[in-house]
Each structure stands twice: as structure tokens, then as C-alpha cells.
Amino acid sequence: MSILAVGSVAFDSIATPSGRVKDILGGSGTYFALSASYFTDVRLVAVVGEDFTAEHESVFKKRKIDTRGIERAKGKTFRWGGQYLENLNEAKTDFTELNVFQEFRPIIPAEYMDSKFLFLGNVQPTKQAEVRRKMNHVQLTGCDTMNFWIQGARAELLETLKLIDVLLINDGEAKMLAGERNLPRAAQKVLAMGPQALVIKHGEYGATIFFREGAFGIGRHPFRAPTLPIDEVKDPTGAGDSFAGGFMGYIASQETLNREVLKRALFYGGVMGSFAVERFGTERLQNLDREEIESRFEIFRELTHLE
């Protein structure tokens, strides 16, 4: 079934120990959409500027991503620059130029209103809530957020959390949102805010999913998936968004929604994140096939004895 993704399309300038690149295609919506497209049909809502060319759009077209929801606005596309020269697990931001993204207000094409799955990328929480309230046929909504919104738009974020099913954030964000240093206790506090499930990403150490009591089945025991050791991480940018795309894309490809599906989706999220970091930007995600994905999933399964 189709998944509607709302997020950013950007041009990134990145420096890592493996090299430097300038103005390559990036953005949370881009990574998510490319990753999810290997599992299901993807519809993307975003905004770009006049510097977004047919060549850039062809990246989405090649993966059969529906781009009718990408708004063209006067001005420049969102730009971000960062480096991982000191720590591959944490970006040092050099600059952020929101440009047309600053005034972005998601407009949902009529053709997208029947989407069964929705992913609300890292945009202002009020805008996330506006989109969710318009989507009456959605079976499951995933959502991302960040420290900036947790600190600066907490009231709005708390309202959004009441509308979603699965929240995907990292360790630090979970603790900040809950006001709790202990991660399991933080997870339970976040679940009490509204989500039925919480996925906490641990970077190179994998991810854990926590369930609210009775959600997607019986019990509340968390489940953890490891990550695969990668020979060389060239660019960590977009790993989390690629994880989300694999996670949500796999769920959208299944006929049922239960805990086993969500647990297995953690592994597909990890697979897609592991591919993303092997090249700069979205290069690796543009040139995959399903056989490669399943082969890497099998490595995950053997590592963890997943049935």
C-alpha cells in the first residue's frame, strides 16, 4: 500500500574523513522516500526552489516516487552543511539555510488523500498535526522530531504525539522529551504522551522498539535489533531517515499490522541505514536492488537468530 511522506528536500555540503562533497541531493524526505521505495509506493510532499532541476527530480522518478506533492517555490532550496571529522556519530553543523523551507506549509494533493500510511518527517509539529488531521484513511502514522522542537515547541509537539502511532527518535531525544535519564522509564513516559509504539535509535548500536500496553498485540516487552558492522562509513548523513524509510516501507508492504511485523521492520530499517552510510549522500540508495536488501537482511537474521 502507498505511503505518504512529508519532509525536506535539500542540498547538502558534507565533510568526513572519506572526503568532501558540495550541494548534493539530501534532506529527510529524500532519504526516507528513496529507502521506502524499495518496499512500497511512495508519495512525497516537500518544497524546493528554482535551483531544483529536472536532473534532481529524475532521482525520484527512477525509483517511481510520486513527486506531484513537491511544491516549486521562488528562491533557493534548503541547504545544510556539516562535518563529521571529529566524530562520525555526531555532525558539527557549519551552516543551515532554510530558504524556501522556512515558509513550507504542506499541501496534500487530492490524489494522496487515500494513502493508508503516513510518515511525518522532521518539520514543525503544528504542521505535522495539520497533515495528520487531514488524512482520514490512514491506518498507521509514523513521526520524527528533534531536539529543536522538543525544546522550542514542546506544547505543539505534545499535541502532535496524541495523533500518531509510532514515534522514531534517538536516545538523547527520548530522554529530553521525557525529562528522564533512565531510558526504559523515559520510553514509558513518552508512550503515555500518545504513541502506540516508540522506536529509539541507538546509532551504531541498533534500535529498540517499546510498545504501549495492549498496542499491536499483548504485553509491553521491548524488542531490540542490533546494527551491522560496516567496513567503512563514508557519510552518516541521512542514516536515521533511511532507517525510518526501511521501517515504514516494510510495514506498508505487509497485509497485517502486529508486533511481529513492527519487530521485523526494525531489521529492514537497520538494513537501509547501513546501505545509506556506504556512500556520500543518497548515492547508495539510488543504486540498490531488492536482492541486495534481502541478502543483508539474512545476515541480520543469522546474527540474531530471528525466526
Give the confidence band of 307 by pLDDT, cuts at 50, 70, 90.
low
Whether the pLDDT of residue 87 is over 80: the answer is yes
pLDDT for the residue numbered 219:
60
pLDDT for the residue numbered 191:
96
pLDDT tens digits, one per residue of 99-136: 999 999 999 999 999 999 999 998 999 999 999 999 99
- Answer yes or no: are the C-beta atoms of 104 and 32 closer than 8 Å: no
- Answer yes or no: are the C-beta atoms of 273 and 49 closer than 8 Å: no
pLDDT tens digits, one per residue of 2-51: 999 999 999 999 999 999 999 999 999 999 999 999 999 999 999 999 99
C-alpha cell at 243: 532507517
Q: In angstroms, rounded to a whole number, what is the distance separating the alpha carbons of residues 175 and 183?
A: 6
Give the strand pairing for 66-72 and 42-48.
Answer: parallel
For residue 292, the tally of other CB atoms under 10 A from its CB is 14
Which strands, in side-by-side order, build the sheet including 197-201? 66-72, 42-48, 3-6, 117-120, 140-144, 166-170, 197-201, 207-211, 223-225
Q: In angstroms, rounded to a whole number, what is the distance separating the alpha carbons of residues 287 and 132?
A: 32
Q: Which residues contact 87 (CB under 8 A, 6 or more apart)?
A: none
Whether the pLDDT of residue 218 is over 80: the answer is no
- Answer yes or no: are the C-beta atoms of 32 and 283 closer than 8 Å: no
Amino acid at site 294: E
Q: Which residues contact 255 (CB under 8 A, 6 or more apart)?
A: none
Minimum mean pLDDT range among 11-15, 164-168, 215-219: 215-219
pLDDT for the residue numbered 77:
98
Helix (H, G, I), strand (E, B) or coil at 64: coil
In the chain, where are the structural domains located? 3-304
Mean model confidence pLDDT for the chain? 93
Q: Which residues contact 57 (CB under 8 A, 6 or more apart)?
A: 67, 70
pLDDT for the residue numbered 207:
94
Fold adopted by 3-304: UDP-N-acetylmuramoyl-L-alanine:D-glutamate ligase (3.40.1190)
Phi, psi of 48 (to 5 degrees): -135, 165
Q: In angstroms, rounded to a whole number, what is the distance separating the alpha carbons of residues 4 and 256?
A: 18
Whether the pLDDT of residue 90 is over 90: the answer is no
Give the confidence band of 220 by pLDDT, cuts at 50, 70, 90.
low
Q: Where are the alpha helices (DSSP H) in the chain?
A: 28-36, 54-62, 125-134, 147-152, 154-161, 171-178, 183-191, 239-252, 259-276, 283-286, 290-304
- Full-model pTM: 0.95
